Amino acid sequence: MTTDTSDVKSALTEGLTELHLPTVKRVYEEAARLAERETLSYERYLLNLVTRETHDRQQKRIQRLLRQSRIPAEKALSNFNLKRLPPKVALLTKSLIEGDVLDRRDNVLAFGNPDPATFCTSLLRH
């Protein structure tokens, strides 16, 4: 029986490696034990694995895109001083930060140097 179990684990690990599913490969045993304890259906167990894989891939993609953008970490909205801007620009900037333009489906045009350290790039990062 143990040989059969180890063969299954070995084949499963190889298959998950070939399919490039690192998160599923890392957590499937833990998720299976949890599914047994909570008597989850096969679909729930599979959904748990797929959700974790999807979440990890999304986080890795975000980190990769942030690295590629070369936006300095210190350039964040939390560090930006709105008081330095003229009142009208500060009001428009607040509207951008709050996301009102998305609700209204307004177009946003950004002008200026395309340097990654500019405020507009920092704004888009958040």
Tokens describing residue 100: 């009102």
**Helix segments in 70-118, DSSP class H:** 87-98, 100-104
Q: What whole-number distance in Å separates Cα of residue 110 and Cα of residue 123? A: 11
Helix axis angle, 2-18 relative to 22-37, nearest 10°?
Answer: 140
pTM over 0.85, yes/no:
no
- Give the model confidence (pLDDT) of 58-107 as tens digits: 999 989 988 888 877 777 777 888 888 888 888 888 888 888 778 888 78
